[in-house]
Amino acid sequence: ENKLFSCGFEVEEKYELGKDISKVVVGEVKTCEAIEGTHLHLCTVDAGENGVLQICCGADNVAAGGKYPLALIGAQVYATAKDHKTVEGLMTIGQGKLRGYDSYGMLCSGVEIGVTEDMFPGAGYDGLLVLPEDSVPGADVKPILGLDDYIFDEEKLIISGISAEISIDNFI
Stretch (H or E) spanning 144: helix 141-145
Lowest mean pLDDT among 30-39, 58-67, 73-82, 145-154: 145-154
The one-letter amino acid at 52: V
Q: Count Cβ neighbours within 10 Å for each residue of 28-66 and write b for 16 or more, e otherwise.
A: bbeebeebeeeebbbbebbbeebeebebbbebebbeeeb
Q: Give the pLDDT confidence score for residue 153 in this predicted structure.
A: 61
Strand partners, 21: none
Give residue 10's pLDDT band: very low, low, confident or very high (50, 70, 90): low
In angstroms, the first-to-last Cα distance of the chain is: 12
In angstroms, the CA 112 to CA 92 distance is 11
Are the C-beta atoms of residues 101 and 94 closer than 8 Å to each other?
no
* In 104-156, beta strands by DSSP E: 106-107, 150-152
Distance of CA 137 to the CA centre of its chain: 14
Instruction: For residue 5, give the DSSP letter.
Output: H
CB atoms within 10 A of CB 72: 19
On whether the CB atoms of residues 138 and 102 are closer than 8 A, the answer is no
Of 131 and 161, the structure prediction assigns the larger pLDDT to: 131
Closest listed residue to residue 78, CA positions, set 141, 19, 145 = 19
Averaged confidence pLDDT in the chain? 85
